[in-house]
Every structure is written in structure tokens, then in C-alpha cells.
Copies of this chain bind each other. A is one copy, B any other.
Amino acid sequence: MEKGKITLNDIARIAGVTIGTVDRAMHNRSGISEKTRQKILDIAKEYDYKPDIIGRSLSMKRKRLKIGVLLRREPTFFWDHAARGIRVAAKEMEAFGINPQIEYFHMTSGFTDEEYIAMYRSTLIQMNEDHKNAFILVPVNHPFLVEDVNFLNKKGIPVVTLNDDREDSQRIFHIGPDTYQSGRVAAQLTGGLLSGQGRVLLYTANYSSSGYFLRKKGFMDKMHESYPDIHITERNQKTVLEAFYGGDVDIRSFDCICNIDGATVSEGVALLKQKGDVDFIKYIGFEINSDVKEHLADGSIHAVISQDAFSQGYFALRMLCEYLVYAKQPKYDRMFVRCDIILKENMIINDRIVNPYFMGD
């Protein structure tokens, strides 16, 4: 008997029982004597039994895995990529009958916080009525979120948090950007580009997100450690217009703009172009979309750091499925996607580049 190639049927034959009994032993099901269970487990161990995933999958066909996914809506380029990552992973796992149902919720304008929470919660309840096997959620910042996650968990419905985390909840794991580290990467790029000298304008429209706060902190920490001679001016006005041209700002006195806030990058560059200042200042941003690609191509953006939403979605679904199908526990309960540095010359412009980004097409 070749090691590792043994099947449940083989074990049954060796143990002198039937396959049903073997199954009971392997899955710690009830209705089996301790003695037979031990005998069977010993045999399994001796012959290094590994369950055949595809036999199991075929048999599992009867109950397809329904996974509820609740994402944000804006910025759309970002969340579209996340949804795409989820669909690609689902397609890869289609052998296991994964069936993700993706819903979105808006966080932009026109509603009070309470109204958002209510909308979010009602969507969640509605999705759950369809008897989901698991959820992938982008959490909102409200105590109920923890309650609901814990409730689902108690009912045996695991929850994964995407992009934002609630460590105080019983989500089984989290996948998101390493925002602090991405700030450090931006600082190293900036410092290298300025040879450790000069003036930097650091801009964010939105510090309310803890992600942006952490990114700024990463940027500042790395600057203080490695480039103490660079002078940093923070601006966090609501619009790039105010930030770059409001008050008594002389934009040309800066050597570099670092735009912490991924959502306003292309807007910021467009403004510099319009004012005729774009050639006098280096621009470093976050995240990539088609506008940003154009700015990279024509040289008006030097670099962006991407912690791509696609990978977040892809790995969230994939690791969740491995958890559901193989009972494989992720190594950590908090994981991050890579910080990719994207310049004109290494941005991906065609699909001859093999890459998870394109595997689903």
C-alpha cells in the first residue's frame, strides 16, 4: 500500500469494518465504540491517510457553500477590484461549489450615521435569512457590528473582516492593507527621490479613517528615522484645491507632494496640471486606477503604492473556502496584502504579465 494514497475503503478493509464506520471515526462523529475508533485512527496514521479533496467535494455537491459578502461602494474602482478578486477566487474554487452573493453599501453622503448603521444591519439580516454558510464583511464602526459577528459565530457561521478590522469581535480572521507600513514605504520612496533633502507637502482629505491616520504615522516615523533633514508640511483640508492653493501656500516651494489619501490622487494631479505646476513637483500617491495609470505614463505621478483591493478580496474568499472545505486554519488571524511600488515602467499595461489580477479573465 503506497503511503499517502490510501483511501477510506482501504482503511475499512484493513480494519475489517465498513466505510461508514471509518467515516465516523475520522470525523469524531458519535455512535462508535472507543475501541474501533482508536483502531481506525491508528491505521489511518500508520498509512498516512490524507482525505481526497475531490472525492469529498463531489460528495459535498449537495450543499453548495453560500457566502455572503458585504462591501462598500466608494471609491468604486477600489471596491470593484475587491469584488473581482472575490469572484476570481470563487471561480478557482468552483470545484467546491462556492456561491458568493455580493452586496454593497454606500458610505458617502445624505444619511446620518444612525441611518447607515440601520441600512447596513438590515442588509446583513436580509442576507442571513438566505442561510449563508459564512460571511465576508467590511465592518462599520459601531458596537452592534461586534454583537452581530459574535452572534453569527456562535451559530457556526464564520465571519471574515475585509479592509477594516474589529479585533474585539469573534471574526475568524482579517485581511486588509498594512496601512502603517505603506506609509513607511512612501517615506522611503520620497526620501530616496529627494536624496534626503527638501520640502514635502503631506496631504489627506480625511483623517477620520484610522487607516489614513496610521499611514501618516508610518510616513512620519520613517522620515524621522531615515530622513531627518526633510521638512514636512501637513495639510488636511477637504479639497486638493484648498490644500495646494488655499491660504498662503506656495506650491512651488515644495519638492514633493505625498498624497496619503488614495481617493484624491488623480484629482490632485489634474489640479497641478491645470495650474501649470505639475512639472515642478514630484507626486507620490496611493492606489491605482485608470486615471492614475495615465498620470504615471505621462510622468506627472512618480510613483504610487498599491495594496491592491483585488488581493484582499481574492485571499479573503480563498482562505475562507480553505477554512470551510479543508478546515484549514489560517496561520494568523490578522493578515495583510503586499505594498507594491508602481512606477511608469513596471505598471502592468497588458495581460501578458501573469498575475493574479488577470487570472480570472
> Interface of A with B (CB < 8 Å)?
53-55, 57-58, 61, 94-96, 175, 178, 181, 184-185, 187-189, 192-193, 195, 222, 302, 305, 311, 315, 319, 331-332, 334-341, 343-346, 348, 351-356, 361
Contacts and interface: CB of A to CB of B under 8 A. Distances in A.
A315 B343 CA distance: 24
Given A54-B57, A338-B346, A356 B354 contact: no
A95 B53 contact: yes
Contacts of A339: 345-346
9 contacts: A54-B54, A54-B61, A54-B95, A55-B58, A193-B193, A305-B346, A334-B352, A338-B348, A340-B340
Contacts of A334: 352
Given A188-B344, A341-B341, A354 B54 contact: no
Taken together, the copies of this chain in the complex come to 2
Contact of A175 (B222, B331, B354): B354
B348 A335 contact: no
Contact of A178 (B55, B315, B353): B353
Nearest to A194: B195
B343 A189 contact: yes
A352 B338 contact: no
B352 A185 contact: no
Contacts of A356: 356
Residue among A187, A188, A331, A341 with max Cβ neighbours from chain B (10 Å) = A341
A188 B296 CA distance: 12
Given A55-B58, A195-B195, A336 B319 contact: no
A181 B305 CA distance: 19
